[in-house]
Amino acid sequence: MARRDLEVLAHADLERLGMALPAVTEATVGLVRSGGGGKWHVPTEKKKWSEHCQHAARAAGEPNELVLLDVLDQVCARCAGQLPARLPDAVVALWRACSLTVAADRFVGSLREDTRARTWLGYAIALDRSPRKDDARVRELLRPVLLGDEFGAQAWKAMAGWSQLLERAEEQLAVYREAAPPAVASVTVGAALDAVGREAAVHEQARVLERAAGGDRRWTEVGVWDCVRLS
């Protein structure tokens, strides 16, 4: 199955983030359906169906010009990979920048709503998922569009929206980092647990607790001492 090159976007998300760019929300493509309805397909010549989608080759009638934002989730996966070639390069760049901005907004929301204890391991995971890793890509996407006459203003708006989300993400990461225990304390506690864990008496007590728990396989597989370390 071909990869969906353009991410499905929700108009409500774009509106909320100030990213409802006409180049994205009004982009249209010609699509066809086979006789029984179902998924939309990118039209192709029958003699070339093996290069694209066999259902597209069987579709009858003229293509329907549709707003892509409204129907992208209804386009077959194989045909979806053909869509970027049907749109201006600037529109594709703006679409992808919007997709990354929406993803950044979801990251900020998930980090803000995460109620788990703040740890340095959790911070490292959040840092790895943070939008900062996509900053260079967004700027690379928008750079050639910024100076264009037709889509330049929309590209600047997209850049502003992305920059705001990136700033919000960094603020949430700073809040997370501030809530985590001091790094030195985390290392010290970890070293202490390792030292205690090497004591035979500790593991004997763990086995006693495991037996007292009824020999549940969940305990014997994980180990009481491991649970203590993770708590």
User: Side-chain half-sphere of 66: how many Cα atoms within 13 Å?
Assistant: 20
For 172-199, write each residue's pLDDT tens digit: 999 999 998 876 555 555 555 565 566 6
11 and 69 in contact (C-beta within 8 Å)?
A: yes
pLDDT at 171: 97
Mean pLDDT rounded to a whole number for the chain: 83
Q: Scanning the structure block, which residue is given the tokens 């353009």?
A: 6
Residue 83 DSSP symbol: G
> Tokens standing for 71?
């129907």
- Enclosing H/E stretch for 173: helix 152-179
67 φψ region: left (φ > 0), alpha (ψ -120 to 50), beta (else): beta
Residue 53 makes CB contacts below 8 A (sequence gap 6+) with 41, 42, 44, 76, 78, 79
pLDDT digits (tens, 9 = 90+) for 60-79: 678 999 999 999 999 988 88
Mean pLDDT of 204-221: 58
